Amino acid sequence: MPPVSAATLGGAPPAWLRGPSFDLALIVGVLALALVMGGLACASPELFLSVLLVDLWLLAYPHVASTFTRIAFTREDVRRRWFLLFALPPLVLLGTATVAGVGGVMALSSLYFFWQSWHYTRQSYGIARAYHRRSGAPGRDRLGELVVYAFPLWGVLRRAHQDPGQFYGAPLWCPPVPAIAVQLAGALAALALVAWALQHARAPRRRGPGSLFIASHVLITVISYRVFDDITQGWLFINIWHNAQYLLFVWASNARRFAGAEPPQRFLARLCQPEHALRYALVCVGLSTAFYLALGQAIALVTWAALPVLLVVHLSVNFHHYLVDAVIWRAPRRARAHG
């Protein structure tokens, strides 16, 4: 990892994860990308479909594929993560098929919407924790963590109260949520944000890129869940943000993991060197394109009656990704004890 810049922010050195260029791309660049692409998508139905296609092909599918660079690209990882690679997929497929058999398309759509909301929040929590550890501040940033969770909770409760009925054309079930619950969640989120901001204003060591990241999380969450009444338009903003952010964060994690390999002998080690970042991105795009093109060919060959099966397979890939992420990004117990 490059040395931390000597520049100061409020009397403390900025706690970059890799350095100013990477971190500003991760925080500001990704946010700008989501806002620009989401804004274009809202301009017209035709642009919405075009932006959605770009998001799926260049961000969403590669972000799922990049997960496998953490568990399947070295012999050591395969031996260590064999359950995630070989045993978990059929279990997830069976579970997803069971949900579809019991509740139909509505159950699948509802499970996907609420689970991905939790998945996005957990990613923000993990990145916020990484920044807090880099800052060297004592203990945990409990107020920051509360902010990370409170705003998505407010947004999801608002969507449930809104009860849009559909999500990307599929029927969506939402639990009945009274308006007072949404208002209380909003008040909690606002109070947490004010308390967190005051805490950081008084403690220079806590200020820096980590604070900027949490602010970006708050902004994209408010835009996605509160500014837009249309659930599909709002979802696209945070989906682009999440996908692009994940790709950058996983690449940085792999680059740090293989830093100093002289010479890097393994394919992934070579691929994750900073000078090969573009090749890394192209490999992720290539792997995801191959998989989803194969799925598309399967759709073209089967009858309409078999389409629910393909939907189950497609969502199983996403659900497997959620579960794998929940395992591979957990810090070791010893590290958490000192975090």
Whether 143 is in a domain gets the answer yes
Per the CB < 8 A criterion, the answer to whether 225 and 159 are in contact is yes
Let me know if residue 321 belongs to a domain: yes
Q: What is the pLDDT of residues 165-194, one digit of tens each?
A: 999 989 999 999 999 999 999 999 999 999
The residues with which 114 forms a beta bridge, in sequence order, are none
Residue 60 domain-assigned (yes or no): yes
pLDDT in tens, 121-149: 999 999 999 999 988 877 889 999 999 99
In this prediction, residue 84 carries a pLDDT of 96
Check pLDDT > 50 for residue 55: yes
The per-residue pLDDT for range 251-292, each reduced to its tens digit, is 999 888 887 655 445 677 777 777 777 888 888 888 888 877
What the block records as the tokens of 95 is: 């579970």
In a domain, 5, yes or no: no
Torsion angle, alpha carbons of 256, 258, 262, 268, to 10: -140
Measured CA to CA, the distance from residue 37 to residue 213 in angstroms comes to: 19
Cα–Cα distance, 118 to 317 (Å, whole number): 17
Q: Is residue 9 part of a domain?
A: no
Question: Total domain count for the chain?
Answer: 1
pLDDT of residue 295: 66
Q: DSSP letters of 57-116?
A: IIIIHHHHHHHTTTTSSSHHHHHHTHIIIIIHHHHHHHHHHHHHHHHHHHHHHHHHHHHH
Per the domain annotation, does 327 fall within a domain?
yes
Encoded tokens for 100 = 């579809």
pLDDT higher than 50, residue 333: no
| Mean pLDDT computed over every residue of the chain | 86
Answer whether residue 300 is part of any domain: yes
4 part of a folded domain: no
pLDDT of residue 337: 38
Which pLDDT value is given to residue 291? Answer: 75
- Residue 117 near residue 152 (C-beta atoms within 8 A): yes
Question: In Å, how far from its chain's centre is CA 337?
Answer: 25
pLDDT tens digit sequence for 207-263: 789 999 999 999 999 999 999 999 999 999 999 999 999 999 999 998 888 876 554
260: left (phi over 0), alpha (psi -120 to 50) or beta: left
- Is the model more confident about 25 or about 304? 25
Distance between start and end Cα atoms, the chain: 20
Q: Provide the residue range defining the domain that includes 220.
A: 24-331
What is this structure's pTM? Answer: 0.89
